[in-house]
Amino acid sequence: MKTKATLLIGTAVLALESCETKNYTEEDRITVTTNLENYVDSVESAVQMVPVHNWSLIDERYDSLDSRAEKVYNDLKVEDDNLEMIEERYETAVKNGKAQAENFERTADMHMNNVETWWDKTTADVEKGTKNTAEDIEDATQESLDWLEKNFDKLSDDTKKKYEEVTMKLQKD
């Protein structure tokens, strides 16, 4: 009787295991890996082109793709260092992107401060009766204005607003 029960339990376990089908295929694994690699490629490219990003959205999308890939890999019981390498690339891209963004913001602030300092100084002259003209702009200030204009689309909204205010006042004078 004991042997019969053991055989029945063994048969049931074997039947359950043989009925257990994988949800994913090797093609799914290749697809999720490719999707994750392509996303990291796009993040690496984006941080080189534009310094300001919404990192929470970028992280959210990466986490979604990574989670899907991990499900497929776990289901297929496949260990692949490729996912770890992709994650390292992603973390490096984010780290570099954030560092570039901080550097860009420091540079933008420096140029905006230069323009604002010049503007404050020359505005005092205007009150004394001296008119500001575009020809009166010092070389360093013109360099800052040129840099801000060139990088306008990449500037923070606050810096864009300040730049527009100064340039509008300069055009009026």
Predicted confidence at residue 119, as pLDDT, reads 79
User: What pLDDT is recorded for position 52?
Assistant: 73
d(CA 19, CA 87): 34
Model pLDDT, residue 129: 46
Q: Which residues of 61-87 are buried (b: 16+ CB within 10 A; e: fewer)?
A: ebeebbebbeebbeebeeeeeebeebe
pLDDT digits (tens, 9 = 90+) for 94-149: 999 999 889 988 998 998 888 888 878 777 665 554 555 555 677 777 888 888 88
For residues 15 and 173, the model is more confident at 173
Asked if pLDDT for residue 51 goes beyond 80, the answer is no
Confidence at residue 3, expressed as pLDDT on a 0 to 100 scale: 53
Tell whether the model's pLDDT for residue 87 goes beyond 90.
yes
Q: Is the pTM of this model over 0.75?
A: no
Query: Would you state the structure tokens that stand for residue 155, as one six-digit string?
Result: 């500037």
CB under 8 Å to 96, separation ≥6 — which residues? 47
pLDDT tier at 17 (50, 70, 90 boundaries)? very low
Average model confidence (pLDDT) across the chain: 80
Q: Return the pLDDT at 38.
A: 95
pLDDT for 1:
52
* % pLDDT > 90, the chain: 33
Residue scoring higher pLDDT (51 or 2): 51
Provide the pLDDT for residue 135: 55
Whether 24 has a pLDDT exceeding 70, the answer reads: yes
